[in-house]
Amino acid sequence: MTGERAPMLEACGLSKRYGETVALSNVDLAFQPGSVHAILGENGCGKSTLVKLLSGIVAPSSGTIRMLGRPVTGSNPARIQQLGLATVFQEVLLAPERSVADNIVLGTGSAFGWRAGRSARHRIAAAALSRVTSLPIDLDAPAGSLSLAVGQLVVLARALVRRPKILVLDEVTAALDLGDRNAVFEMIEDHARAGGLVLFISHRMDEVMRLAHRVTVLRNGQLVDTLETASVSAERLLQLMAPATARELDHAL
């Protein structure tokens, strides 16, 4: 990652309430181009809420979001996607009757070949898949017949086919074996090297320490800190995520 540039994505005073529950409270964040930025926190700290807000899936109760220099607060997911942000969730959502190739190009419009012939669709799908796996995947197989891991790779390929500038990956490695996990890590590193932004949500500290340039810790819906990964230990991050648990662990050792 090079020095500070204009942020690719920015949240300012972002809050989300669900009735009495404050899922996210007054969060300020700036995500730099050419970087992998991890979001860490215990269950219920607000990670998914942040992802949903940035992706346009839910609207904030207050605060603003800017993407690539434009205000996008309240924009719907289709608009956010069109502007260059793709989100991949842990849940694998595919059209089960459609082929792998169709699922990858689905909804991309004529520019990427949805209206193109079968061989063009295959070429596009194969190129996207090759960025996340070296497994030979049958492009004609119905998506409903895929294992969870292969389904996750297909969903990742579907995000890449749109050539997003910003990739938001929410716990996408959970179902993957080591080989595919490494291929996905390479794709993430390539994306950042090419000047893109990857927002990486994972509860796996080893992945965060390996991949992320910066890490933001959330606790109880609040931003605790944003740190350079190179200058912070996993132990310190654990302490920031859950001070009580870290103290208990310390006593137990």
Binding site for ligand ATP (CB under 6 A): 18, 21, 23, 41, 43-49
CB of 20 to ligand ATP, least distance (A): 9
Rounded least distance, CB 241 to ligand ATP, Å? 10
The tokens describing 137, both together, are 């995947």
- Residue whose structure tokens are 């500038």: 165
Minimum CB distance to ligand ATP smaller for 17 or for 213: 17
**Which is nearer to ligand ATP, 104 or 168 (by Cβ)?**
168
Least distance from C-beta 148 to ligand ATP, angstroms? 18
13/107 with CB nearer ligand ATP = 13
Least distance from ligand ATP to the Cβ atom of residue 218, Å? 7
* 16 vs 122 by CB, closer to ligand ATP: 16
Q: The sheet that has 9-18: what strands, in order across it? A: 21-31, 9-18, 62-67, 70-71
Residue whose CB is less far from ligand ATP, 41 or 196: 41
* Structural contact between residues 71 and 60, judged by C-beta atoms closer than 8 angstroms: no
Report, in Å, the least distance between residue 61 CB and ligand ATP: 12
